[in-house]
Amino acid sequence: MPFRTAVRCLINPIRVVLRPSTSIRGYAAIAEARSVLEHELETIRTGGTWKGERIITSKQGPHINVDGSRGDILNFCANNYLGLSSHPQVVEAGIEALKKYGAGLSSVRFICGTQDIHKDLEQKLAKFHEREECILYASCFDANAGLFEVLLGPDDAVLSDELNHASIIDGIRLCRAKRFRYKHMDLNDLETQLKQSQSSRMRLVVTDGVFSMDGDVAPLKGICDLAEQYGALVFIDECHATGFMGPRGRGTDELLGVMDRVHIVNSTLGKALGGAAGGYTVGPKPLIDLLRQRSRPYLFSNSLPPPVVGCATRAVELLLASNEIAQSVGAKTMRFRNKMTEAGFTISGSTSLSDG
């Protein structure tokens, strides 16, 4: 063996030993990431914002069984406002849809994921809200994430209540419009922002209809007055209002008499309307048509599963057929408040239904 070859054979194994292996570097990266994550988790714990999960072992309802607890428990924290999550007709409609249409579509809507039941539910939701057209999403978070970047460009402006839902905030971040934030339900501040944004091509005032944390009802009449005065559009998120606010449960715009003055409504199927999943946008047909072409959460998310569509459709049909379910919520709420007061409890805060 030549001397040079012999030396190379001796040196190469040494190089292999001295060179850090890919797997060792990988383990080090994982260990470092784990350390960073554990530190972040500990920060959440010490900050008192850790969110645990209760394990429910029964169907959703006013009475539930929770893992680790004895007997059933009164449930005051679900958004099952109308009790439709376990309504026999709603459940049966989901079963029938599962049998007829299958568990899921394995596709997005524009490829091969649109069934006749999707179109039927969209038509019923548009009718329910008295708007021209409707588009379904996997959630209202997706509906809010998909709207603003399609509707608004760099020449436009969005004016958002400072306490709007996180999904609205995230959706607005995705668009390139100028952003204005007005003080919570403050019409004077909103007018100031409208004046400051007058050079924009199109302006959209954005607010929750009902703010879920405090139960505040947006002053929609005043908002619509200002929007019309300054040539702006009005958008409301109705997740915590659809199905039970207003005489027919149409929402805060019906409650405050401005259904014909609010231009765009986003809401959910995951609360009062069956409680399963899904969200939607209702509004002018050209907007809905454009969302079908460009809204990324719609274009790149699987279609709503048929059982979910079946349940939601039946829930909407029940509300379209009768106002009794929606109207019962107000009576039950007042009876509950009165009984709690009689029992010695005080009600902190208040839900304002005023337009100021």
pLDDT recorded at residue 6: 52
Phi, psi of 208, deg, nearest 5: -65, 145
Q: What residue ranges of the chain have pLDDT lower than 50?
A: 7, 10, 14, 16, 349-356
Write out the catalytic residue numbers.
212, 240, 271
Can you tell me whether residue 4 is helix, strand or coil?
helix
pLDDT recorded at residue 22: 67
User: Domain locations in the chain?
Assistant: 88-322
pLDDT recorded at residue 71: 84
pLDDT recorded at residue 175: 97
Q: At what angle do helices 88-101 and 306-321 cross, to 10 degrees?
A: 140
Q: Give pTM, 2 decimals.
A: 0.89
List Cβ neighbours of 206 (8 Å cut-off, separation of 6 or more): 158, 159, 160, 161, 164, 168, 172, 235, 236, 237
Nearest to 303 by CA among 67, 101, 13: 101
Query: In this structure, which CATH number among 3.40.640.10, 1.20.930.40, 3.40.50.300, 3.40.50.2300 belongs to the domain 88-322?
Result: 3.40.640.10
Amino acid found at 177 = A
pLDDT tens by residue, 8-63: 554 555 454 555 566 787 788 999 999 999 999 999 999 999 999 999 999 999 99
Other CB atoms within a 10 A radius of the CB of residue 114 amount to 16
pLDDT recorded at residue 5: 58
